[in-house]
């Protein structure tokens, strides 16, 4: 089969046990695309303080969210892969993870050996940022096989329509004082160095709301979550926004998480548990989340159509040259 599509997500520990979580975090937090601090300074801090303190705590979160079939991120992404494969019977559709298994380079080489003359690499992150995409790009290029990389899809009309539909369906269920579009944060230094992520997040919120004229603009907030370490990251932080909303008497909120296409530790543990508890303890009442795309067949069909469109455009480019 000459057509290949590799879907890539972040990854997960092999098990929720502390040793596996520690190994996963060690690889993840050693990626210079994620942590820009010089390795000579960062590695002693990572190995001597951060991993010993963080691994066991993260392991408890993974255990609480683990599904019978495995990590939620892996399980939901596998479901997407299966649906996309059904939508693209003439493609070899596979799955890989930036950190953990299946390995990106190994999978690409296997696809080439199976007959894929060209493989489209599609990171399952709507907005581009160095901290997620550069690791994927580096590993994919290291495979040494013909590839094309789709770097973002946040502005694709069908994706925006799907996101807007999910937001509106949830918004109509109850009265909400605020609708918070919450994105995974990144260090502000990356943005200063030219990373387009913040701009793409703000555009995602704006373009989605443009499709929802009946959603009051004064209720919409863009915030960021999942901050790590002492350095400044993109603000406003979701947790701070939740507490401030309660102080203003806004006690019913709806959270949208457009940077996460599947349920994972950030949505299940950070939002549904930690941020929920913070909001309720501060005096909040209703705290609801718009579910990520997960195995929505319309989202999988969008991914399939996106890949096919890229393949056809690439084929036409080859023919004209």
Q: What are phi and psi of 184, to 5 degrees?
A: -60, 130
Q: Where are the beta strands (DSSP E) in 165-219?
A: 178-184
How many CA atoms within 13 Å lie on the side-chain side of 101? 5
Q: Is 184 marked as a binding-site residue?
A: yes
For 246, the token pair is 């309660």
Alpha carbon distances (Å) from 128 to 11, 18, 41, 175, 176: 17, 31, 27, 33, 30
Residues in the chain: 321
Q: Is 175 marked as a binding-site residue?
A: no
Please answer whether residues 265 and 61 qualify as being in contact, where contact means their C-beta atoms are separated by less than 8 angstroms.
yes
**Total Cβ atoms within 10 A of residue 138:** 15
Each residue of 192-206: b (16+ CB within 10 Å) or e? eeebbbbebbeebbe
Which residues are part of a known binding site for Fe(2+)?
184, 266
Which residues are part of a known binding site?
184, 266
């Amino acid at each position: 089969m000459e057509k290949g599509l590799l879907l890539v997500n972040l990854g997960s520990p092999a098990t929720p046990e502390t040793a596996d979580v520690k190994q996963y975090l060690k690889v993840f937090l050693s990626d210079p695309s994620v942590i820009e601090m010089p390795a000579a300074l960062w590695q002693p801090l990572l190995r001597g303080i951060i991993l010993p303190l963080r691994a066991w705590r993260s392991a408890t979160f993974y255990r609480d969210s683990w599904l019978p079939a495995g990590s939620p991120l892996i399980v939901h992404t596998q479901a997407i892969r299966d649906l996309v494969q059904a939508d693209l019977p003439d493609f070899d559709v596979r799955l890989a993870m930036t950190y953990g298994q299946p390995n990106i380079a190994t999978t690409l080489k296997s696809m080439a050996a199976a007959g894929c003359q060209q493989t489209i690499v599609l990171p399952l992150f709507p907005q581009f940022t160095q901290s997620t995409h550069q690791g994927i790009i580096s590993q994919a290029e290291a495979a040494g096989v013909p590839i094309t990389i789709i770097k973002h899809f946040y502005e694709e009309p069908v994706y925006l329509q799907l996101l807007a539909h999910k937001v509106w369906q949830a918004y109509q269920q109850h009265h909400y004082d605020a609708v918070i579009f919450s994105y995974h944060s990144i260090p502000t230094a990356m943005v200063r160095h030219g990373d387009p992520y913040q701009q793409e997040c703000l555009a995602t919120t704006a373009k989605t709301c443009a499709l929802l004229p009946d959603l009051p603009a004064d209720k919409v907030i863009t915030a960021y979550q999942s901050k790590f370490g002492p350095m400044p990251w993109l603000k406003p932080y979701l947790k701070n926004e939740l507490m401030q909303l309660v102080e203003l008497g806004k006690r019913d909120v709806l959270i949208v998480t457009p940077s996460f296409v599947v349920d994972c530790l950030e949505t299940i543990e950070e939002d549904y548990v930690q941020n929920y508890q913070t909001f309720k303890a501060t005096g909040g009442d209703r705290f609801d989340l718009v579910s990520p795309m997960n195995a929505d067949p319309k989202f999988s069909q969008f991914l399939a159509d996106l890949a096919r469109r890229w393949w056809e455009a690439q084929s036409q480019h080859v023919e004209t040259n």
